[in-house]
Structure formats: structure tokens, C-alpha cells
């Protein structure tokens, strides 16, 4: 049985405060050290550092050493990607003859028991203990340069001042890291318990195969993260966990040929939106994501694409650019998601206020009310006009023509008052995120949502009549 974390948050807090004095390890806020701590916790099936016992740590040392003595780990992974020439883990190729689980166990124990030197500076990572007397280089701690590269740190300082406990924890990083696209991936989070969720799969893979996890063969770190987020939000209905969560991905390589790090920060509103989308409208969210590849994958191809190819929707979300255009599928004239998901995105991510959104939806409904009186082919042509607007004056003309149409059809109320018209066209113009193009996409969403079937029928007829080469249909589409 997996032990559950205490349900009562206040209890949890007081116990962690109480234990802070005695706990051997603490969360540090450093991704690599915290990743090592995550490995200890996952291996011991514990949830917070203060729950760890001496026995847990001893078992973890033995488990890690048993693996690290194997060739696939030492030369193929630790030396090649994380800690080149590591002496502690004996990944240095010159040590291959002496490398045994027992010898590595010995090194790790000694490291943990190393006496603190009170004259040494304070550890730059945890700030709790004195650092080791000698600085640490990249063979023992990823990405901190070598003794031969004194310009790595400010003031030509030599190496990293780190305490033996932080250094000990880093030695467990290889167990929880994912191998993604020829590099190593660590997902650092706040709250820290989310990191346990995101890295649990890595430890499970290690337990099953005795090999480091390859993240289901994902080649792109952000794609893997979005996939995990989707699964986790459906599994754990914990809004509180996502509401205040922060995630940063560290995708790096540290070997003798090169040291490189890519940092991907996931903006908080994007996390909240992804969690919401995966839970409230998973089909819609999948259709939106599928729009992010130039060639649309079929239902069967989706997972392959997701594992292998850069996705524009993910990239834009991470770059804090609008993904509104992906909510509609102009080619197939359909809304990709539910209005409620669009509304959540607009308010949570784009920062559009609820009233403005309601107003635009209302205008959309008035457009529908007008157009639905037309025969299919005319209906289709009018919508095409809106789809093709590229300039503000064309957008204006669409409304002016529609107003005339309403008069011709004998609809009593005007489409919009003058003030409303001005609002639609200009008042969002100042904000790049909420320009008239945003309004155009929202209106099209509403029109497609309500008139999709008739529009598609009309498009098919048009296609037959005009042999329109423009309407090619990619993929299979997703039928509900």
C-alpha cells in the first residue's frame, strides 16, 4: 500500500515545521539537488524529506550503486550525459576495472558522513551547512565547469561551493531524470509534491527495466510535459495543486564534448489552462493540439506526432503567445472545443474580461440569427467573407454588408448600435492580444459552433460546382 500524505494541510505544516530541525535533507529550490531528493522519496515511497529514515537512505544507496556499477549506467548514461569522469560514482572510464556496487556504496556513505568544515564557506545551494573544503566541478555536479575553466564563475572563482549533503543528493539525479531527445530532463516544480508526480514514472521504469527512463520515447521535453500534465490532471482532481503550481523544465547535457542547458518555464496561467482543458474538454483540447502540426495527424497517428514533432500550440503557449486561431478549424469550418474552454482560455490566459467575451458572443449570435435565414450557398459565401478578412476595413465591410442584409430580410433590430460597432472594431485595438483579429476568431468560433453542419453541406456543394482545389481535407477529423 502506498502511504497517503496527511490530508489536513495544517497538520502537515506543523509536522514539517517541527521536523525541520532534525531532517537530514530539505528542499533547496535547486533543480538538480531537489531531483536527487525526489529519487530518495520515490524509492522509499515517502512524501516529504522529514519522513526519510536512515534505513531508507541506506537502501537507496544500495539500489543506486547496484545500477551505477552496470555499464549501461556508468559509461552509457552517467559519464555520457550527466557526470563525465565522475569519481564518486566511478563512471570515469579509467575506473572500470575497480567499479563494483560495493565500492560505489562506500563512496556514497563516505560522502554523506563527511565531517563539516566550520571554516569553509556556506553551501551555495542549501545555505544550511558549510560547503566541502574543496570546490566541486562538473564531474560531480552537472554543469558547473571544470578547474581548468576559471572564467566559469564570476570573479574567476574556481568551482562550486556545495555541502556534502547537497552533493550526495545530486548523485541520485540519474535515477529520476528522463532521457529525452539525447539529453536529460528534470522537471522542477513548486509545490514540490508535484515533482514527485511528474518523476514517478522515471522510477517505475527504472524498477521495471533496470534502465534509465526514456520517457516513452518522447523526443521533445515540452510535448512530454503536456502529455504528463493531461494524464495527471485527469487522475488527480486537485485544482489546488495546479492553481498555484509553477514548473520549469531543465533539459541538459553535461559531458566531455559539451555542456548545454535549455530552460523552459511554463507560465502559471498556461498550467491552469492545460489542467482545465484536459479535465473539462479533453477531446476539444486534443483537436486544438492537433492543429499545431502542419500536416494534421489521424487519430492513430496522434501519439506518434506527439512523441516526435514540435507542436506550434505548445510552443506558443510556452512563449505566452495567443493560441486563439487554433480554437477554430477554418478548413473544416468547425469549432474545435466547447465554448466554455474558449471562455476559460480568454479570461485566464489572454486576460479578456468576462463581460467583453459575453458581448462578443452575443454579437456572434446576432450574426447567426441573420445568416441562418439565407439559403446554404449564400450563407457559406457570407461566412467566407468573414473568414477571409485580413484588414480592418474588410472586417468593417463585413458588418456593414450584414446590416444591409438584415434590412433586406426585414429583421427589425439592427445588428449593433453605433457604440457596439465601435467597441467591436476599435476598443480592443490597443492590446495586441485582444485586437480585432481576436474578435474575428471569437465570432467565427460562435458561427461554426452553431452553423457547422449547414456550412459543411454548403462547402461540399460549392466544391462540386466549382471544383474548388482549395478545400483539401487533411486527416480524418474527430467525430463526436
Q: 204-233: which residues touch Zn ion (CB under 5 A)?
A: none
- Which of these ranges, 122-130, 309-317, 374-382, 391-399, lies near Zn ion under the rule CB under 5 A? 122-130
Q: Which one, 108 or 386, has the nearer CB to Zn ion?
A: 108
Single out the residue of 41, 125, 275, 367 in contact with Zn ion (rule: CB under 5 A): 125
In angstroms, the CA 47 to CA 51 distance is 7
Sign of CA dihedral 378, 383, 389, 392: positive
Q: Which one, 52 or 125, has the nearer CB to Zn ion?
A: 125
Single out the residue of 67, 104, 108, 123 in contact with Zn ion (rule: CB under 5 A): 123
In angstroms, the CA 108 to CA 1 distance is 29
- Which class for 138: exposed (0-12), middle (13-18), buried (19 or more C-beta within 10 A)? buried
- Which of these ranges, 118-126, 276-284, 387-395, 406-414, lies near Zn ion under the rule CB under 5 A? 118-126
CB of 132 to Zn ion, least distance (A): 9
CB of 363 to Zn ion, least distance (A): 59
C-alpha cell at 183: 539529453
DSSP class of residue 326?
G
Cβ atoms of 6 and 47 within 8 Å: the answer is no
Least Cα distance to 289 among 355, 242, 341, 356 occurs for: 341
CB of 166 to Zn ion, least distance (A): 3
Q: Which one, 39 or 363, has the nearer CB to Zn ion?
A: 39
Please list the helix, strand and coil fractions of the chain in percent, rounded to the nearest 5, in that order. 55, 10, 35
Helix (H, G, I), strand (E, B) or coil at 242: helix
Give the position of cell 486561431.
Answer: 325
Q: Which one, 24 or 330, has the nearer CB to Zn ion?
A: 24
DSSP class of residue 116?
P
- Which of these ranges, 120-128, 256-264, 321-329, 415-423, lies near Zn ion under the rule CB under 5 A? 120-128
Q: Which one, 123 or 383, has the nearer CB to Zn ion?
A: 123
DSSP E strand boundaries for 370-440: none
CB of 82 to Zn ion, least distance (A): 19
> How many residues form the binding site for Zn ion (CB under 5 A)?
5
In angstroms, the CA 428 to CA 435 distance is 5
Q: 155-174: which residues touch Zn ion (CB under 5 A)?
A: 163, 166
Q: Which one, 20 or 431, has the nearer CB to Zn ion?
A: 20
CB of 50 to Zn ion, least distance (A): 17
Cβ atoms of 424 and 416 within 8 Å: the answer is yes
Cβ atoms of 428 and 346 within 8 Å: the answer is no
Q: Which one, 125 or 313, has the nearer CB to Zn ion?
A: 125
- Which of these ranges, 115-123, 262-270, 338-346, 363-371, lies near Zn ion under the rule CB under 5 A? 115-123
Q: Which one, 144 or 291, has the nearer CB to Zn ion?
A: 144
Instruction: List Cα–Cα distances, 286 to 274, 275, 290, 428, 442, in angstroms.
Output: 11, 13, 6, 29, 19
Q: Which one, 48 or 322, has the nearer CB to Zn ion?
A: 48
- Which of these ranges, 119-127, 368-376, 400-408, 413-421, lies near Zn ion under the rule CB under 5 A? 119-127
- Which of these ranges, 124-132, 175-183, 439-447, 461-469, lies near Zn ion under the rule CB under 5 A? 124-132
CB of 129 to Zn ion, least distance (A): 5
Least Cα distance to 83 among 20, 8, 142 occurs for: 142
CB of 447 to Zn ion, least distance (A): 59
Q: 175-194: which residues touch Zn ion (CB under 5 A)?
A: none
Q: 79-98: which residues touch Zn ion (CB under 5 A)?
A: none
In angstroms, the CA 93 to CA 80 distance is 11
Torsion, CA 444, CA 280, CA 241, CA 172, rounded to 10:
-90
Residue 126 contacts Zn ion per CB under 5 A: yes
Q: Which one, 168 or 395, has the nearer CB to Zn ion?
A: 168
CB of 139 to Zn ion, least distance (A): 18
CB of 244 to Zn ion, least distance (A): 26
CB of 130 to Zn ion, least distance (A): 9
Nearby residues of 414 by Cβ (< 8 Å), 6 or more positions away:
403, 406
DSSP class of residue 441?
H
C-alpha cell at 444: 467565427
Q: Which one, 134 or 381, has the nearer CB to Zn ion?
A: 134
CB of 26 to Zn ion, least distance (A): 9
Look at strands 259-266 and 178-180 and give their pairing: unpaired
Residue 337 contacts Zn ion per CB under 5 A: no
CB of 122 to Zn ion, least distance (A): 8
Q: Which one, 12 or 130, has the nearer CB to Zn ion?
A: 130
C-alpha cell at 90: 566511478
DSSP class of residue 76?
I
- Residues forming contacts to Zn ion in the complex (CB under 5 A) are 123, 125-126, 163, 166
Amino acid at each position: 500500500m502506498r502511504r497517503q500524505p496527511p490530508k489536513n494541510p495544517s497538520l502537515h505544516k506543523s509536522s514539517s515545521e517541527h521536523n525541520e530541525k532534525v531532517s537530514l535533507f530539505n528542499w533547496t529550490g535547486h533543480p538538480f539537488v531537489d531531483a536527487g531528493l525526489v529519487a530518495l522519496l520515490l524509492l522509499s515511497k515517502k512524501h516529504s524529506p522529514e519522513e526519510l529514515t536512515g534505513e531508507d537512505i541506506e537502501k537507496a544507496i544500495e539500489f543506486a550503486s547496484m545500477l551505477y556499477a552496470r555499464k549501461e549506467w556508468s559509461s552509457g548514461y552517467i559519464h555520457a550525459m550527466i557526470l563525465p569522469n565522475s569519481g564518486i560514482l566511478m563512471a570515469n572510464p579509467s575506473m572500470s576495472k575497480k567499479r563494483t556496487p560495493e565500492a560505489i556504496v562506500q563512496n556514497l556513505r563516505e560522502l554523506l558522513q563527511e565531517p563539516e568544515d566550520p571554516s569553509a564557506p556556506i553551501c551555495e545551494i542549501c545555505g544550511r551547512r558549510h560547503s566541502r573544503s574543496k570546490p566541486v566541478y562538473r564531474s560531480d555536479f552537472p554543469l558547473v565547469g571544470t578547474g581548468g575553466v576559471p572564467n566559469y564563475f564570476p570573479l574567476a572563482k574556481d568551482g562550486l561551493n556545495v555541502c556534502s549533503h547537497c552533493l550526495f543528493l545530486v548523485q541520485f539525479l540519474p535515477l529520476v531524470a528522463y532521457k529525452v531527445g539525447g539529453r536529460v530532463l528534470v522537471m522542477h516544480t513548486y509545490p514540490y509534491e508535484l515533482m514527485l508526480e511528474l518523476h514517478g514514472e522515471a522510477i517505475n521504469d527504472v524498477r521495471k527495466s533496470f534502465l534509465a527512463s526514456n520517457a516513452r520515447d518522447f523526443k521533445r521535453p515540452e510535448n512530454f510535459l503536456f502529455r504528463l500534465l493531461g494524464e495527471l490532471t485527469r487522475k488527480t482532481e486537485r485544482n489546488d495543486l495546479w492553481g498555484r503550481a509553477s514548473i520549469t523544465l531543465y533539459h541538459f547535457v553535461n559531458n566531455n564534448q559539451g555542456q548545454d542547458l535549455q530552460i523552459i518555464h511554463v507560465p502559471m496561467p498556461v498550467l491552469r489552462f492545460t489542467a482545465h482543458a484536459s479535465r473539462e474538454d479533453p477531446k476539444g483540447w486534443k483537436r486544438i493540439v492537433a492543429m499545431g502540426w502542419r500536416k494534421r495527424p489521424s487519430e492513430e497517428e496522434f501519439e506518434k506526432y506527439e512523441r516526435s514533432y514540435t507542436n506550434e500550440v505548445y510552443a506558443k503557449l510556452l512563449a505566452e503567445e495567443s493560441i486563439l486561431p487554433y480554437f477554430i478549424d477554418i478548413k473544416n469550418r468547425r469549432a474545435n472545443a466547447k465554448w466554455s474552454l474558449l471562455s476559460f482560455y480568454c479570461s485566464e490566459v489572454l486576460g479578456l474580461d468576462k463581460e467583453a467575451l459575453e458581448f462578443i458572443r452575443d454579437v456572434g449570435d446576432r450574426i447567426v440569427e441573420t445568416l441562418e435565414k439565407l439559403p446554404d450557398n449564400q450563407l457559406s459565401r457570407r461566412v467566407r467573407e468573414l473568414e477571409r478578412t485580413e484588414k480592418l476595413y474588410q472586417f468593417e465591410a463585413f458588418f456593414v454588408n450584414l446590416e444591409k442584409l438584415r434590412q433586406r430580410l426585414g429583421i427589425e433590430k439592427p445588428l449593433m448600435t453605433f457604440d457596439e460597432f465601435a467597441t467591436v472594431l476599435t476598443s480592443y485595438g490597443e492590446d495586441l492580444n485582444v485586437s480585432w483579429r481576436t474578435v474575428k476568431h471569437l465570432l467565427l468560433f460562435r458561427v461554426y459552433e452553431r452553423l457547422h453542419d449547414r456550412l459543411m453541406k454548403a462547402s461540399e456543394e460549392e466544391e462540386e460546382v466549382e471544383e474548388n482545389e482549395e478545400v483539401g481535407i487533411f486527416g480524418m477529423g474527430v467525430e463526436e
